[in-house]
Amino acid sequence: MRKVMMFLGVAALAAVAGGVSAWYVNQQIPSKIEYINTSPEHETQLGSHFTAFEESKYPDLTYAAENAVKAVVNIEAVQRVEMPSRGQFGYDPFLEFFGIPQNYGRHGQSEPQYRERKAGGSGVIISEDGYIVTNNHVVDGATKLRVKLNDGRTYDAELIGKDSATDIALLKIDEQKLPTLPFGSSDALRLGEWVLAIGSPYNLQSTITAGIVSAKARSLGALSNNPEDFSIESFIQTDAAVNPGNSGGALVNTRGELVGINMLIQSQTGSYIGYSFAVPEAIVKKVVVDLKQYGVVQRALLGIGFRVINQQFIDEKGEETGIKEIGGVYVASVEEGGAASEAGIRKGDILTHIDGVAINDEATLRERIARHSPNDRVKISAKRDGKVKLFEVTLRNKAGKTELLTKEDIDVSETLGGKFVDANDKMCRELDIRGGVQVTGIKAEGILARARVKEGFVITHINDRAVYSLSDLKKLTGKIHTIDGIYPNGRSASYVLVE
């Protein structure tokens, strides 16, 4: 109430000031006013920099806005969060006196208490039978999902699948003949082209903002800075206003086609300041099709470590490698038995094109490979000893095979439910191990949490298979039965999972 009164007070002062200034201006301006003649015979008076308004030369966004908004939904994600119970602090006679339960279960153990925490986001209907695409971070950890359509109808939603590497998730509601948004082409987007962002910022459903495409193939390190996480960042950057709640909403071209899924903003305040970023349609479509058909993303890998050849690379490695011109990516390592290795690509090669598309940055390289599935073939141009060579590469999955994965081929690191880093050389020497993956964080509901594994634990084997690095961990796909490792104090531990 105080804010409203303050605003009204400012408005009243502004009105008084406006009246005074208007009185002053009226006293200074002559009563006779002559208007500029804008007839053709006097058009030279306007100056050559003025042109007549021609509606056809300006973008008409109404068609796209009025049609696309019907297929954009609001998503409410409900999380069940455990709260500390009174019982954990021991018996309290004061609470007992007032008849307040102390939450004790059997054997004197306190029973956990829960509360619901709600978060919001947006989504896009992509099929008449109720499939909805959104961001993974909108639905991650939710125990219940509710979808509200543009016309006000609400539905419970089922999570079909999600992919943290691209921050895309697929939902399903039980309804037919829904309004949909057709896929456009993110490849066809041009810098400066008008686009619309549609979503539910601050729970303001069906909010539409407009801007232009500011950049393509933008990488921010927002998903992960760890190359072993397979994160794919090749964002469309726009200046359309996007705020909290827009996540998962539609980025639409002037034809009313879906060209991206709005994901994040770059801001020092947490609210929109100048730029927003969307996952391009080319990636969204691939992930959605995989999740719908297989339940998991069929991620193809090239099997190389690389560095972009920019000025920094020239300054640091130019003399050593003999590379003097920027452009392309330098193959710093080749995974033994991987797709690139089997095709004949070697360390020191400079990759320049994939399927005819120039590769001059990390985002473009990752995005071009991310369009494919294991066993797909791509043509790669590379320079070696000053000559251009063409390689036909058969891409592989994270296990180094060409077969497609199934839903049973789980993501081991995600199922474990933790954050991991490679055990450093010093730790390996102290613990007398060849290598391992150290647990730096534990998520609720994961295997590590259920097994009561503590932070700091170094995993050395899973299912009796050696895990020397994050790369080894990422290659595992089978169901987890045993976890072996060692704590920093030297205590070995084994965990057996019983179904």
The answer on 313 and 189 residing in a single domain is: no
The answer on 255 and 145 residing in a single domain is: yes
User: In this predicted structure, what is the pLDDT of residue 84?
Assistant: 59
87: in domain: no
- In contact, 456 and 488? CB cutoff 8 Å: yes
The answer on 253 and 162 residing in a single domain is: yes
The tens digit of pLDDT for each residue in 249-258 reads 999 999 999 9
Q: Which active-site residues does the annotation give?
A: 137, 167, 247
How many CB atoms neighbour CB 471 within 10 A? 15
The answer on 452 and 375 residing in a single domain is: no
Exposed / middle / buried, residue 382 (Cβ in 10 Å: 0-12, 13-18, 19+) = buried
CATH number of the domain enclosing 424:
2.30.42.10
34: in domain: no
484: in domain: yes
- In contact, 320 and 347? CB cutoff 8 Å: no
The answer on 450 and 325 residing in a single domain is: no
**Domain end call among 269, 297, 325:** 297
The answer on 255 and 205 residing in a single domain is: yes
* Structure tokens given for 323: 């590379």
The answer on 251 and 129 residing in a single domain is: yes
- In contact, 407 and 296? CB cutoff 8 Å: yes
5: in domain: no
CATH number of the domain enclosing 251:
2.40.10.120
The answer on 427 and 365 residing in a single domain is: no
The answer on 263 and 309 residing in a single domain is: no
Tell me the one-letter amino acid at 457. Answer: F
The answer on 235 and 125 residing in a single domain is: yes
115: in domain: no
The answer on 272 and 333 residing in a single domain is: no
The tens digit of pLDDT for each residue in 108-117 reads 455 566 777 8
456: in domain: yes
41: in domain: no
349: in domain: yes
User: In this predicted structure, what is the pLDDT of residue 215?
Assistant: 95
User: In this predicted structure, what is the pLDDT of residue 425?
Assistant: 93
What DSSP state is assigned to residue 106? Answer: G
**Domain end call among 297, 325, 360:** 297
User: Domain range holding 354?
Assistant: 304-394
What is the maximum span of the chain, computed from C-alpha positions, in angstroms? 99
Q: How many domains in the chain? A: 3
Question: Could you tell me the pTM of the whole model?
Answer: 0.73
The answer on 326 and 179 residing in a single domain is: no
User: In this predicted structure, what is the pLDDT of residue 264?
Assistant: 86
pLDDT (tens place) for every residue of the chain, 499 residues total: 333 333 333 334 344 344 434 443 344 444 443 433 344 444 444 445 555 656 666 788 999 999 999 999 999 999 877 665 555 545 555 555 555 555 554 444 555 667 778 888 999 999 999 999 999 999 988 999 999 999 999 999 999 999 988 999 999 999 999 999 999 999 999 999 999 999 999 989 999 999 999 999 988 877 764 545 578 889 999 999 999 999 999 999 999 999 999 998 876 677 776 789 999 999 999 999 999 999 889 999 999 999 999 999 999 999 999 999 999 999 999 998 899 999 999 999 999 999 999 999 999 999 999 999 999 999 999 999 989 999 999 999 987 889 888 776 667 777 888 889 999 999 999 999 999 999 998 887 788 988 889 999 999 999 899 999 988 887 787 788 899 999 999 999 999 887 6
User: In this predicted structure, what is the pLDDT of residue 67?
Assistant: 94
Instruction: Give how far the C-alpha of residue 460 lies from the chain's centroid of Cα atoms, to the nearest Å.
Output: 31
User: In this predicted structure, what is the pLDDT of residue 324?
Assistant: 92
**Domain end call among 345, 366, 394:** 394
Rounded alpha-carbon distances, angstroms, from residue 270 to 197, 215, 267: 18, 21, 6
Q: How far apart are CA 412 and CA 479, in angstroms?
A: 8
